[in-house]
Amino acid sequence: MTTANLLDFDLEGLAAFCERLGEKRFRATQLFRWIHQRGASDFSQMTDLAKSLREKLATTAHVEALPVVAQHESADGTIKWLFDVGDGNAVEAVFIPEDDRGTLCVSSQAGCAVGCRFCSTGHQGFSRNLTTGEIVAQLWFAEHFLRRHLQRDERVISNVVMMGMGEPLQNYTALVPALRTMLDDNAYGLSRRRLTVSTSGVVPMMDRLGEDCPVALAVSLHAPNDALRSDLVPLNRKYPIAELLAACKRYLAHAPRDFITFEYCMLDGVNDQPEHARELIELVRSQGVSCKFNLIPFNPFPASGLVRSPQPRVLAFARILAEAGIVTTVRKTRGDDIDAACGQLAGDVKDRTHAAERMAQRRTVVLHPALGKVSRASSSPAKEQ
Ligand code: SAH
Ligand code: SF4
């Protein structure tokens, strides 16, 4: 008999499940806390639940962790896990500790159907959507592992970014209950400002997210015009830049932050020229979107045929944006010493994401528009928003 994976439920879903078992809804809150706040998966441990309920749960439900294929810890504290999701597929989650926060980068799909030219996940193709339980399991495991590992009683993960493998807004049905669980005070209690969905621009789903579960939004822009963006992000042919920016403006009416973060992967000779920066300024001004820019140095992989922009060009690009009054950050790489390990892993499993490389880029250079010059700050996409 198949039993329900309780990680698939947000609190509302768990309450409905408890009702189906003939239990009062408030039991769901107790159960939810045991699972998410205390990391319990064994119902017999849940001593304040009636024995009869524990017995019912033992035959109808389970809490399903994802098997860890590999774990890599960087000297700077960045930890990357590779989880087995079956059929030879693996997904990554990356923990990035900072002085005042702990950020977990979470995957939403095995592979990705969008097929961006500069993204190794995109080159790998699409395998399948993760379930709500598989998305939540990454946080559930990481949070409780880290509490034991760091010997901390209180919450370790303060920020979650949906920036691992996959396009979260192409897995909307599974994503929303996962976000609700992350936000729930009876579970992880993240604030909406510290939970970021990153999208390549699935316009209709951006609108739905704004209505259903507004959290911080990052949009992967990567180009200032449709010709270039369609070449880099094929989804742009369906939802061109004008529609995307209009959706950003609509989203801002619901968003917990008063700006959208635009991610921009810097590709040598492709999108990194001063005229691209000026075109971007013109674009966001003409559309009137309140935004910040996060410039990401490209993490190269052979099949892409693309090259990372040299750092002086990235800084020059950032300065042009900053001088136009747009807050701009440049991610710097962290967790370098596990990048090699990531490459090794890529040989063993289908994973080609290099999410660790692109997400473990945390010490950022922040350009303040007021100053128009570079200052150094310890920051992260989640903090920037
Ligand atoms: N699919 C979503 C979220 C996952 S990708 C999205 O595209 O927004 C998270 C971020 O990593 C995106 O901004 C993406 O453009 C960036 N990225 C992907 N491949 C990269 C690479 N090779 N180097 C640097 N950044 C990359
Ligand atoms: Fe998919 Fe995002 Fe990679 Fe594009 S950048 S292929 S949307 S994961």
Residues 223 and 292 in one domain: yes
Does the C-beta of 218 come closer than 6 Å to ligand 2?
no
Domain final residue, candidates 18, 45, 62 = 62
What DSSP letter does each residue of 169-229 carry, written as one string? GGSHHHHHHHHHHHH-TTTT---GGGEEEEES--HHHHHHHHHH---EEEEE---SSHHHH
Contact 356, 339 (CB under 8 A): yes
How high is the pLDDT of residue 338? 61
pLDDT surpassing 80 at residue 241: yes
What are the C-alpha distances in Å from 280 to residues 201, 226, 236, 277, 292? 17, 12, 16, 5, 12
Q: Partners of 308 in the beta sheet?
A: 267
Residues 26 and 107 in one domain: no
Contact 382, 359 (CB under 8 A): no
Catalytic residue ranges: 92, 342
Residues 169 and 195 in one domain: yes
Residues 17 and 84 in one domain: no
Ligand 2 centroid to Cα of residue 112, in Å, is 6
Q: What is the pLDDT of residues 355-380, one digit of tens each?
A: 444 444 433 344 433 332 222 233 33
How high is the pLDDT of residue 218? 97
How high is the pLDDT of residue 366? 42
pLDDT surpassing 50 at residue 1: yes
Residues 172 and 51 in one domain: no
Ligand 1 centroid to Cα of residue 301, in Å, is 13
Does the C-beta of 92 come closer than 6 Å to ligand 2?
no
- Average pLDDT of the chain? 88
Residues 178 and 111 in one domain: yes
The residue whose C-alpha atom lies closest to atom 19 belonging to ligand 1 is 119
pTM of the shown model = 0.90
Does the C-beta of 114 come closer than 6 Å to ligand 2?
yes
Ligand 2 centroid to Cα of residue 368, in Å, is 29
Does the C-beta of 7 come closer than 6 Å to ligand 2?
no
How high is the pLDDT of residue 331? 87
- Give the Cα separation of 225 and 347 in Å (integer): 36
In the chain, where do the E strands start and end?
A: 4-5, 61-62, 68-73, 79-86, 89-98, 101-105, 109-111, 126-129, 159-162, 195-199, 216-220, 260-266, 291-297, 328-331, 363-368, 373-378
Does the C-beta of 124 come closer than 6 Å to ligand 2?
no
Ligand 1 pocket (Cβ < 6 Å) reads 118-120, 163, 167, 198-200, 220, 263, 265, 296, 298-299, 358
Q: Which domain covers residue 327, as residue numbers?
A: 68-383
Q: What is the pLDDT of residues 306-354, one digit of tens each?
A: 999 999 999 999 999 999 999 999 986 666 556 433 333 332 344 334 4
Who's near 333: CB < 8 A, 6+ residues apart? 297, 339, 357, 360, 361
- Give the Cα separation of 168 and 100 in Å (integer): 27
Residues 88 and 108 in one domain: yes
Closest ligand 2 atom to residue 233 Cα is 4
- Give the Cα separation of 298 and 314 in Å (integer): 11
- Confidence at 158, pLDDT banded by 50, 70, 90: very high
How high is the pLDDT of residue 336? 55
Counting ligand 2 atoms within 8 A of each CB, the residue from 167, 217, 358 with the most, and so the one to mutate, is 167
98: domain CATH number is 3.20.20.70
Residues 174 and 46 in one domain: no
How high is the pLDDT of residue 347? 27
Q: How many domains does the chain fold into?
A: 2
Mean pLDDT for 25-50 is 96
Q: Tokens 């597929």 sit at which residue?
A: 89
Ligand 1 centroid to Cα of residue 338, in Å, is 19
Q: What is the pLDDT of residues 117-145, one digit of tens each?
A: 999 999 999 999 999 999 999 999 999 99
Q: What is the pLDDT of residues 46-102, one digit of tens each?
A: 999 999 999 999 999 999 999 999 999 999 899 999 999 999 999 999 999 999 999
Residues 75 and 125 in one domain: yes
Residues 24 and 156 in one domain: no
Mean pLDDT for 34-40 is 97
Residues 9 and 85 in one domain: no
Residues 39 and 123 in one domain: no
Ligand 1 centroid to Cα of residue 219, in Å, is 10
How high is the pLDDT of residue 127? 96
Closest ligand 1 atom to residue 222 Cα is 15
Mean pLDDT for 14-19 is 97
Counting ligand 1 atoms within 8 A of each CB, the residue from 123, 162, 198, 331 with the most, and so the one to mutate, is 198
33: domain CATH number is 1.10.150.530
C-alpha triplet 32, 134, 148: angle, nearest 5°: 65
- Give the Cα separation of 346 and 69 in Å (integer): 12
Share of the chain above pLDDT 90, in %: 83
Is residue 306 exposed (0-12), middle (13-18) or buried (19+ Cβ within 10 Å)?
middle
Letter for the amino acid at 320? I
Q: What is the pLDDT of residues 194-230, one digit of tens each?
A: 999 999 999 999 999 999 999 999 999 999 999 999 9
Domain final residue, candidates 38, 62, 86 = 62
Does the C-beta of 13 come closer than 6 Å to ligand 2?
no
Is residue 278 exposed (0-12), middle (13-18) or buried (19+ Cβ within 10 Å)?
middle
Instruction: For residue 83, report the phi and psi dihedrals to the nearest 5 degrees.
Output: -105, 140
- Give the Cα separation of 148 and 206 in Å (integer): 37
Q: Tokens 């699935």 sit at which residue?
A: 202
